[in-house]
């Protein structure tokens, strides 16, 4: 809101100053990937594509090609999203609209499950996956990630279903459709924005996930971009930040593109948190 | 059960199956594992019984009598059928028959005794060396043999002529088992870890500081961007929202670059004669500043969005009216905006306390608990103990016990929150089937 009672430039100045470190980090994140800087200087002085060589050069022995890793990450994020969204959409509808025994219990349970983030489960999940032989596979990580995001997904979808007018469903039933048809043909289209928002959210969250792949699928064949990048950073005694940043920008590009396209839908989820 | 119930449960079943497999069972197993001594050394499947030099040392440490340990470790010489057959093959039937007829079933505690007995026989081998070798054929020992069951081990030990009291037998089978066993020691062990209280303190410090930073910054950002023209406001919002969606590895990488000894801060300060150093890992205080900044900014993004949308829902007329009455900006914030933000602030506090308590990704990636454990928090300690430590022996049991503490705190807190946030309002009565 702007007003005539007070000027806005002092505020602008204050915000600009405290945003400075972040802006510097963003700018250098991109600039450093295509330039070289003389040691000790702050201003880059040479243009180079050298730091992007990981895209076309053969990987060092013991390292996996970035393209395999990218494909893994894509499969991981997509499958997680599919599983999570399908389970959330059905469960959200059930909790929002359908009558069933123990409904309160389920709803409370899902809220409570939200209080079990990764660390409280990861030790036993690690052991379970080892016992059933899914350790070090993408399938294992996909299932775990989809499950860990499930309480939030159900909760968000329930919120969207709650906002669909009952009249739509009742009209459908009057016309002789079954509850399932009503859900599939009438209610689901109403919550499409919700499904889109949740999909984007889960996809981004899976794309960025670090701890789960690191613990549950650390070896080469199932590596994803986050573990690839962090291994790169941890391995090197002499850090080559320009190269790290290039890999980082490569890794972050889909996130930034998705953010620019789905800005509104994302705000729906992040901002809708209070609504429940 | 009515048809409508089945429909509801059917819709819920995929989610229920996933939740059962990957939430409930893991939680139950966390409880189970926290009462075991599982570790890399014990493995996660069963173990075996084996007496060897290492397990004998363990036995002595566990308080077994010295004489008992010594007898277990000693070899004994038993004249049995297996030995006689071997002797027949090596030194002829005659010698074997004589041994069999005269000494079958006898026991000797040392080779010299057996050799002495052999020398009395007529058909003994000629040379001393051969007698020694023949004696070796009768050597029996429980050392370095794997037994799948405790019973097999006990039988073998008694077969070798070692008498055990029931107490000794229990101590033996308990100590030398290589697999995991049930135990409630983990919680006592946890209390004995010298730095555990410091870690607990760190955790409280981390939650309080980060929460204060993120709520404070979130409020500040939401209110200031509210008062800016919309174009400027949305660019600032974009700048401050990015940390939330950037993958955490990259976000931490940017901070590492900022703080590295060849990084931005060092290069910048070199112009003022400050020697370069790693600003993040230099001292404990520095590490804390970075931890709080990194986590606080990510938290502030969420706060900014939530508070921002709450401020937007304040009726504009109230603000306009206050302006006509000549309210200063501070008065507007104090008397109109902040009261409207009571619920969002409470929500963020509740939500973030829980998630901060258990989150450790940013700390793991930036300082990894360092320098010297200064920024180690509880969940990171559990992670280090069970899944990632330099000693190489991952203590799943102890780590699970540490995680269990967090589970308990989490459940208690969410029960309290369900009270505060009025759970009943969230459950709507279905209107089609009653």
Closest partner CB to B227 (pick from A11, A25, A125):
A11
Q: Are B337 and B311 in contact (CB under 8 A)?
A: yes
The contacts of residue B400 (CB under 8 Å, 6+ apart) are A123, A124, B30, B31, B33, B34, B36, B38, B186, B386
Residue B30 to residue A83, Cβ atoms within 8 A: no
pLDDT above 70: percentage of residues in chain A: 91
Give the pLDDT score at B94: 80
Burial class (CB within 10 angstroms; exposed 0-12, middle 13-18, buried 19+) of B317: exposed
Give the pLDDT score at A274: 35
Region of residue B368 (phi > 0: left; psi between -120 and 50: alpha; otherwise: beta): left
Residue A3 to residue B323, Cβ atoms within 8 A: yes
CA distances from B176 to A270, B35, B70, B168, B244 (A): 55, 19, 15, 12, 51
Three-state secondary structure of chain B: CCHHHHHHHHHHHHHHHHHHHHHHHHHHHHHHHCCECCCCCCCCCCCCEEECHHHHHHHHHCCCCHHHHHHHHCCEEECCHHHHHHHHHHHCHHHHHHHHHHHCCCEECCHHHHHHHHHCCCCCCCCHHHHHHHHHCCEECCECCEECCHHHHHHHHHHCCCCCCHHHHHHHHHHHECCCCECCHHHHHHHHCCCHHHHHHHHHHHHHHHHHHHHHHHHHHHHHHHHCCHHHHHHHHHHHHHHHHCCHHHHHHHHHHHHCCCCHHHHHHHCCCCCCCCCCCCCHHHHHHHHHHHHHHHHHHHHHHHHHHHHHCCCHHHHHHHHHCCCCHHHHHHHHHHHHCHHHHHHHHHHHHHHHHHCCHHHHHHCCCCCCCCCCCHHHHHHHHHHCCCCCCCCHHHHHHHHHHHHHHHHHHHHHHHHHCCHHHHCCCCCCCC
**What count of residues does chain A have?**
276
Give the pLDDT score at A273: 43
Residue A89 has pLDDT above 90, yes or no: yes
Residue A35 forms beta bridges with which residues? A47
Asked if A25 has any chain B CB less than 8 Å from its own CB, the reply is yes
Residues of A in contact with B290 (CB under 8 A): none
Closest partner CB to A123 (pick from B309, B396, B430):
B396
Q: What is the ipTM of this complex?
A: 0.88
**pLDDT, chain B, mean:** 82
User: What is the pLDDT confidence band of residue A120, given thresholds at 50, 70 and 90?
Assistant: confident
Smallest Cα–Cα separation from B191: which of B405, B373, B27? Answer: B405
Residue B316 to residue A273, Cβ atoms within 8 A: no
Structure tokens, B27: 């939680």
Distance in angstroms (rounded) separating the CA atoms of residues B117 and B109 = 12
Asked if B206 has any chain A CB less than 8 Å from its own CB, the reply is no
Asked if A112 has any chain B CB less than 8 Å from its own CB, the reply is yes
Give the pLDDT score at B66: 74
Q: Which of A11-15, A42-46, B207-211 is the least confident region?
A: A42-46
pLDDT in tens, A151-201: 888 888 888 888 888 888 888 888 888 888 888 888 899 888 889 888 988
pLDDT in tens, B153-204: 777 777 776 777 777 777 777 777 777 778 888 888 888 888 889 999 999 9
Q: Which residue in chain A has the smallest CA separation from B308? A: A271
User: What is the pLDDT confidence band of residue A87, given thresholds at 50, 70 and 90?
Assistant: very high
Q: Are B48 and B199 in contact (CB under 8 A)?
A: no
End-to-end CA distance of chain B: 14
Give the pLDDT score at B148: 73
The HSE-up count of residue A232 (CA atoms within 13 Å, CB side) is: 27
Asked if A169 has any chain B CB less than 8 Å from its own CB, the reply is yes
Q: Which domains does chain B have, with CATH numbers?
A: 3-69+145-189 (no CATH), 75-140 (no CATH), 195-394 (1.10.3720.10)
Residues of A in contact with B255 (CB under 8 A): 25
Q: Which residue in chain A has the smallest CA separation from B299? A: A270
Top CATH class, A65-274: mainly alpha
A165-185 burial: b if 16+ Cβ within 10 Å, else e: eeeebeebeeeebebeebbee
Give the pLDDT score at A159: 84
User: What is the pLDDT confidence band of residue A222, given thresholds at 50, 70 and 90?
Assistant: confident
Give the pLDDT score at B357: 85
Dihedral sign computed on CA atoms, order B297, B359, A70, A80: negative
Distance in angstroms (rounded) separating the CA atoms of residues A206 and A147 = 11
Residue B18 to residue A166, Cβ atoms within 8 A: no
pLDDT lower than 70: segments of chain B: 1-4, 46-47, 161, 422-434
Asked if A20 has any chain B CB less than 8 Å from its own CB, the reply is no
Distance in angstroms (rounded) separating the CA atoms of residues A85 and A153 = 7
Structure tokens, A141: 């990580």
**Closest approach of A116 to chain B, Cα-based (Å):** 7
Residue B139 forms beta bridges with which residues? B77
Interface size A-B, in CB pairs within 8 Å, comes to 307
């Amino acid at each position: 809101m702007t007003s005539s009672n007070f000027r806005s430039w002092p505020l602008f100045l204050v915000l600009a100053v405290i945003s400075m470190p972040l802006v510097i980090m963003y700018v250098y994140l991109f600039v450093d990937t295509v330039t070289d800087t003389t040691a000790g200087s702050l201003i880059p002085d040479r243009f180079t594509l050298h730091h992007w060589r990981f895209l076309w050069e053969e990987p060092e022995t013991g390292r996996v090609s970035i393209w395999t890793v990218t494909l893994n990450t894509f499969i991981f994020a997509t499958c997680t999203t599919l599983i999570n969204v399908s389970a959330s959409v059905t469960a959200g509808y059930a909790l929002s609209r359908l009558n069933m025994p123990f409904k309160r219990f389920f709803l409370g349970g899902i809220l409570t499950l939200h209080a079990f983030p990764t660390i409280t489960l990861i030790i036993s999940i690690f052991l379970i996956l080892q016992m059933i032989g899914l350790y070090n596979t993408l399938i294992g990580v996909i299932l775990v990630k989809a499950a860990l995001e499930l309480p939030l997904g159900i909760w968000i979808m329930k919120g969207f279903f709650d906002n669909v007018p009952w009249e739509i469903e009742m009209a459908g039933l009057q016309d002789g459709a079954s509850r399932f048809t009503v859900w599939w043909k009438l209610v689901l289209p109403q919550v499409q924005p919700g499904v889109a928002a949740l999909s984007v959210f889960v996809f981004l969250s899976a794309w960025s996930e670090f701890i789960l792949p690191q613990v549950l699928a650390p070896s080469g064949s199932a590596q994803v971009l986050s573990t690839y990048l962090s291994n790169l950073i941890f391995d090197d005694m002499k850090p080559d930040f320009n190269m790290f940043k290039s890999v980082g920008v490569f890794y972050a590009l889909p996130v930034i593109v998705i953010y620019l396209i789905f800005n509104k839908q994302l705000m729906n989820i992040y901002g809708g948190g209070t609504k429940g | 059960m009515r048809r409508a119930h089945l429909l509801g449960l059917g819709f819920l079943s995929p989610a229920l199956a996933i939740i059962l497999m990957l939430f409930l069972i893991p939680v139950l197993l966390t409880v189970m594992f926290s009462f075991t001594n599982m570790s890399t050394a014990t493995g996660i499947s069963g173990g075996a019984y084996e007496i060897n030099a290492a397990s004998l040392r363990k036995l002595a440490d566990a308080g077994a009598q010295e004489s008992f340990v010594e007898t277990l470790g000693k070899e004994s010489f038993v004249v049995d059928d297996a030995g006689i057959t071997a002797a027949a093959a090596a030194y002829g039937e005659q010698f074997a028959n004589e041994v069999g007829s005269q000494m079958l079933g006898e026991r000797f505690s040392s080779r010299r005794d057996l050799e002495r007995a052999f020398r009395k026989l007529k058909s003994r081998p000629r040379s001393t060396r051969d007698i020694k070798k023949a004696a070796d054929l009768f050597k029996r020992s429980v050392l370095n043999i794997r037994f799948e069951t405790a019973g097999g081990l006990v039988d073998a030990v008694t077969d070798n002529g070692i008498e055990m009291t029931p107490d000794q037998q229990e101590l033996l089978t308990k100590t030398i088992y290589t697999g995991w066993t049930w135990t409630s020691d983990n919680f006592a062990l946890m209390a004995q870890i010298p730095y555990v209280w410091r870690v607990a303190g760190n955790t409280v410090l981390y939650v309080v500081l980060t929460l204060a930073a993120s709520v404070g910054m979130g409020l500040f950002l939401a209110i200031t961007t509210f008062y800016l023209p919309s174009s400027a406001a949305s660019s600032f919002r974009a700048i401050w929202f990015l940390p939330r969606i950037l993958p955490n590895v990259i976000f931490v990488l940017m901070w590492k670059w900022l703080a590295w000894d060849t990084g931005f801060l060092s290069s910048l300060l070199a112009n003022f004669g400050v020697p370069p150093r790693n600003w993040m890992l230099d001292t404990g205080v520095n590490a804390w500043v970075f931890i709080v900044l990194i986590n606080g900014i990510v938290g502030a993004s969420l706060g900014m969005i939530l508070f921002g949308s709450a401020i937007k829902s304040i009726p504009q007329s109230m603000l306009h009216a206050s302006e006509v009455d000549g309210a200063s900006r501070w008065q507007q914030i104090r008397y109109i905006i902040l009261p409207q933000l009571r619920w969002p602030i409470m929500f963020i506090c509740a939500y973030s306390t829980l998630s901060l308590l258990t989150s450790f990704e940013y700390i793991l990636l930036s300082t990894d608990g360092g320098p010297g454990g200064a920024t180690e928090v509880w969940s990171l300690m559990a992670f280090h103990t069970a899944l990632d430590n330099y000693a190489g022996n991952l203590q799943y049991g102890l780590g699970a016990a540490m995680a269990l503490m967090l589970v308990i705190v989490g459940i208690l807190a969410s029960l309290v929150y369900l009270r505060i946030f009025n759970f009943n309002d969230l459950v709507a009565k279905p209107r089609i089937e009653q």
